[in-house]
Structure formats: C-alpha cells, structure tokens
Structure 1
Amino acid sequence: MGGSRVDLTPQAAQLLCRLRAVHGPLMFHQSGGCCDGSSPMCFPLGEFKLGGSDVHLGDLAVDGLAEPVQVWMSRAQFEYWRHTHLTIDVVPGRGSGFSVEAPEGVRFLIRSRLLTEQELLELDGSVG
C-alpha cells in the first residue's frame, strides 16, 4: 500500500469499533520503551499528551467510525523505524493497563515490514 506508513488488520479495526463505542474517538501512541512500552498504546483522543518529541505517522480510516484514528510515535523510536511500514494487529493476552483494550483480554501489536523504495519516495517529507 503506497503512501502510507501505517495500517491495521480487520481484527484490529473491529476491536477499535467496539472500543470507540465505549471510549469515544481514539488514538495510538508507539513509544520506544521496553515491555508494554514497546506495544502500541490506544488512548481516548487527547488523553495522551503529545509533544515535540512525537511524530504523526498517519490516520487510520476505520469502516464504521466517523473519525480516523491518529497514530503517533516517539521521535526517537521513529528514527529506528522510519524505513518500515507498520500494521497494527490484535492478539490474545494482556497488555498494558493504560491501553484501553487491556480489559478485553487482548492487546494491540505492531507487525512491520521494510518499505519499498517507491513507498519511501512517496513518503519522503511526509512526517515531521
């Protein structure tokens, strides 16, 4: 999928629709921490305070949601992952207590692949 740094699986999209009904508009933040900090964290939009050290990777259009789900990453982590395409998935298990899916018995997970040269050309300058 050219022109995009981030996508999600159908299972993750379904979970986001359920979570949106409970928590309102949502956002993701991917930090560079260890353990749960290396998983994408899902928050009600605006609950996680963003700053100059965060990079906006893109917005996920989810069928059934009126608004896109923003995806952010710490700038330090982005320096490591800038050449990858990320897909947000969901797997059984317990993630961080701070991420809104934790009570569901599942956790969000990042799957990655290297961007193609064409994708990198299309994305050049799109993140800041």
Structure 2
Amino acid sequence: MTVPRIVATVDAVALLRRLAQRNGPLMMHQSGGCCDGSAPMCYPQGEFLVGDRDVLLGVLDLRLAPGAVGADAPDGVHAVPVWISGSQFEAWKHTQLVLDVVPGRGSGFSLESPEGLRFLSRGRAYTPDEVAAFADEEPLLGARWESGERPGPATEPQVVETASDACPVPGMT
C-alpha cells in the first residue's frame, strides 16, 4: 500500500526536529482518551511502552520536505514512529491521520508541553479505493516491532505544507 496512514505538516515536522535535537530520538502515540483526551503524545524513544497490539501508523521521516520521499528508511533522530492502540486503530482504520501543531499548551506528559504549542490530530477519510487497497495489508503491531521488524522507506510523501493540503480544516479556506 502506498497511501500513508500518517502525514505531518511542515510545522509539526519543525517542532519534532527541535524536540529531537533536545531529547534525542522520539516516538509518538495517538492517545485514546483518559486524562489527556484523545491527543497525539510525543515522548523520547522508549519512554512510552508500546503494547503488543498497538499499531504502527508509520515512521515519520524528519529529513523530508513537503512532497518528497526518502530513498531509504530513516533512523535515529530522523525517525519518529507513530503508534495508536489496536482498539482505536479499529475505529480509525478508514482515516489518514494528519499530525499538525497549533498554539496552546500540550499535555503535561508530551514533550511539546513547554513550547506554547500542542500537537493535534486531524483526519481525512480514505476514498473507497484506498480502503480497498488496505484490505489485504496486515498492520505492523508492537509485538512484531519488538522482534525487530521495521517498515521500509515511505513511498508516498509524508509531509504537507499545511493541514488543509491533506484534509478539510474547519475555518480555513
């Protein structure tokens, strides 16, 4: 499948780059509620334990500019795996997540909290053809990641200029 399950805005990638410079390799987890609502959470790699049934949405390549694809898979501070719980994935599997950043205070648990910005998930429903293309794909689960399995480089662009380039955004024209 070539349609990415996760894309990020230029602003989100810029914030991830700053956070990676300070904190080293990062990871993200799309929270499913509780104390932080349903928000994308950013952690130093390994600080959040990925469950065996969590689903990898993709690995954001922080080296990329909008519209570009990588020749090889990112690693180290350039690679940001983005996870979602298995149960939440079932509800969102028909949706491409668009990682954006907006002014405001992030969660106390997420690394962007002191930046005056917060990560925000937006979504775009897949077309019927895209949904059909995913039908035979088996998502990469945390258990397989733990055993060393990794996805290859993205074959479609993961970075967009603005969220409205990937999905409708209320209030933006």
Q: TM-score, normalised by structure 2?
A: 0.68
Structure 1 unaligned residues grouped into runs of 5+: none
Q: Is it true that 1:79 corresponds to 2:90 in the alignment? A: yes
Higher strand share: 1
Q: 1:96 aligns with which of 107, 111, 114?
A: 107
Show CA shifts across 1:23-56 (max 9, x none): 1011110121146230100001111001123111
User: Which whole-Å CA distance do the structure 1 matches of 2:7 and 2:32 have between them?
Assistant: 19
Matched-pair identity in %: 53
User: Which whole-Å CA distance do the structure 1 matches of 2:52 and 2:110 have between them?
Assistant: 22
Contact 1:4 1:123 in 2 (8 A): no
SS of residue paired to 2:33: coil
SS of residue paired to 1:96: coil
Letter in 1 for 2:94: H
Contact 1:90 1:108 in 2 (8 A): yes
Letter in 1 for 2:131: L
Q: Which residue in the other structure is 1:7 paired with?
A: 7
Q: TM-score, normalised by structure 1?
A: 0.90
Contact 1:89 1:108 in 2 (8 A): yes
Contact 2:5 2:97 in 1 (8 A): yes
Q: Which residue in the other structure is 2:60 paired with?
A: 60
Q: Give 1:26-45 correspondences, 5 Å limit.
A: 26-34=26-34, 36-45=36-45
Letter in 2 for 1:67: H
Q: CA deviation at 1:5?
A: 0.5
SS of residue paired to 1:22: helix
User: Which whole-Å CA distance do the structure 1 matches of 2:99 and 2:19 have between them?
Assistant: 15
For the pair shown, which has the larger CA radius of gyration, 1 or 2?
2
Q: CA deviation at 1:117?
A: 2.3
Q: Which residue in the other structure is 2:133 paired with?
A: 122
**Bigger CA drift: 59-68 or 69-78?**
59-68
